Amino acid sequence: MRSRRTLACAVIVVGAATATALAGCSVQSSTTTTKATASAGASTGTGSPAPSATASGRFGDVAPGVTTSTVKIGIVYPDYASLAQYGLNINQGSFPDAYGALIAKINASGGVDGRKIVPVYGEYSLLSPAAATQTCVQLTADDSVFAVLGTFESDAEALCYAQTHKTAVIGSSLSNADYAQAQAPWFAVDHGSDDAASAIGVLAADGRLAGKKVAVIALQQDEVSMNSSAIPALKASGITPVATAVITASVSDATALGGQVAVAVQKFQASGANVVIIVGGLATEYPPIEAHTTFRPQLMFTSATDATAGTVSSKPDPAVYKNALAADVSTNFNDPANLACIQTVQTAYPSLKGKLVNPLSVKAGAPTLATSVDDACTELGLFTAIADKAGQELNYDTLQQAGTTLGKIHVPYYTADANFTASTPYGDVPFVLFGYDPSNSQFVQQGS
């Protein structure tokens, strides 16, 4: 599961004087063009269309922020401290410290094909809609960085770099639709709204949905993922949902949300559904609402990350979660590459020794200081792998060529290898099955 899905696991709803953080959500792009084909126990590998700028297969020799001895990269991260005024205490550690310590080690070992990495940090406020855009302009127009890495507020923020300012991006979620709009190289280890097809491929494998009456539900922000990814994948597996529902109520309006979910439950029950698939962020909200009804289908989730966020943020009803399943990529905090990053940061900042623990083992609401290190380790690992392969002549042309021919590589923190090709710039890390374990109220990987 992706404990690093920083902004996919915290919805910030800012009103006149309030802010509400929810344990789980998904932020998806507004469009997608996925044509899914479900496969047993693995990602669907539907591939991404080439960015519009690469119709001819080239970006040109554009190379902002690159000299013979250095390469300048932007690091973006959210200002969680500003949320404290609303009673929201989110502490994922210092992103500049994590990236800085790892970059110092990379530079001490020769940098990227002989070039030292020069980081430029861009913190953005989650309370101002214009803040992310201001950071984007700062890093691209003012600082002229070669690529931007880090934690993005949304797909739209990443597109500010990759599309509007034609700057390379490493990270964020990368749906087919977003990739098609990119005007610069973009690589990630997350397929965004199209991940739902991979999840359905796993959930439907081995006949788990054979003969079942399936209903599907999602928040409005995940409607595209449901309609263009999850449902086509179900139909490709020979399953047509007996009912679907999209919840339009704001997650900050508990009354309206509860009312709409209750109506959906009645609809599903009347349709005879015995399986309900929850797409994306509703994973935290649907189960406790269903608990107040007599409806008890088998629940399945397209994100084990979101599903676990729901079980740790409130006391789960065992009857609701009985035999519940989820799908996600498999991650490993104890991956040697990730532990090496942890050690590097602890060496640079001795006060962190013993505090950089697995975020998934931390109680809800407690600091997850290792999240910033996990993020930096993954994004820098991917960037250096691609940039090293690009060679001494580092520009967007060579970066794109390197990334699309990188093939299978181990990305820190992930259990299975990623596979970067021209049709899989999102790494195509295989999805696996998770099952609900009532002994610890978490979803655990099956068959591992």
Q: 397: domain CATH number?
A: 3.40.50.2300
Domain presence at residue 13: no
- Provide the pLDDT for residue 37: 30
Provide the domain limits for residue 239: 195-330+432-445
- Provide the pLDDT for residue 353: 95
User: Cβ distance 343 to 65 under 8 Å?
Assistant: no
Domain presence at residue 246: yes
Q: Please list the pLDDT of the chain residue by residue as tens digits (448 residues).
A: 665 444 444 433 433 334 333 333 333 333 322 223 333 333 344 556 666 554 445 688 999 999 999 999 999 999 999 888 888 889 999 999 999 999 999 999 999 999 999 999 999 888 887 888 999 999 999 999 999 999 887 888 899 999 999 999 999 889 999 999 999 999 999 999 999 999 999 999 999 999 999 999 999 999 999 999 999 999 999 999 999 999 999 988 999 999 999 999 999 999 999 999 999 999 999 999 999 999 999 999 999 999 988 887 678 999 999 999 999 999 999 999 999 999 999 999 999 999 999 998 888 788 999 999 999 999 999 999 999 999 999 999 999 999 999 999 999 999 999 999 999 999 999 999 999 999 988 899 998 6
Considering the domain architecture, whether residues 292 and 217 belong to the same structural domain is answered as: yes
Considering the domain architecture, whether residues 237 and 185 belong to the same structural domain is answered as: no
Domain presence at residue 121: yes
Give phi and psi for 286, each to the nearest 5: -65, -50
User: Cβ distance 173 to 188 under 8 Å?
Assistant: yes
Considering the domain architecture, whether residues 302 and 441 belong to the same structural domain is answered as: yes
- Provide the pLDDT for residue 130: 85
Supply the pTM of this predicted model. Answer: 0.88
Considering the domain architecture, whether residues 140 and 88 belong to the same structural domain is answered as: yes
Considering the domain architecture, whether residues 313 and 343 belong to the same structural domain is answered as: no
Domain presence at residue 74: yes
User: Cβ distance 378 to 97 under 8 Å?
Assistant: no
Give Cα separations from 323 to 204, 244, 320, 340, 434 (angstroms).
15, 21, 9, 37, 10
- Provide the pLDDT for residue 311: 87
Considering the domain architecture, whether residues 312 and 437 belong to the same structural domain is answered as: yes
Considering the domain architecture, whether residues 272 and 361 belong to the same structural domain is answered as: no
Domain presence at residue 42: no
- Provide the pLDDT for residue 255: 96
Burial class (CB in 10 A: 0-12, 13-18, 19+), 63: middle
- Provide the pLDDT for residue 33: 29
- Count how many residues are written for the chain: 448
Domain presence at residue 132: yes
Considering the domain architecture, whether residues 171 and 255 belong to the same structural domain is answered as: no
Output the CA torsion sign for 96, 99, 105, 108.
negative
Considering the domain architecture, whether residues 84 and 146 belong to the same structural domain is answered as: yes
Considering the domain architecture, whether residues 126 and 226 belong to the same structural domain is answered as: no
Number of domains forming the structure of the chain: 2
Domain presence at residue 28: no
Considering the domain architecture, whether residues 302 and 371 belong to the same structural domain is answered as: no
Considering the domain architecture, whether residues 67 and 149 belong to the same structural domain is answered as: yes
Domain presence at residue 256: yes
- Provide the pLDDT for residue 50: 60
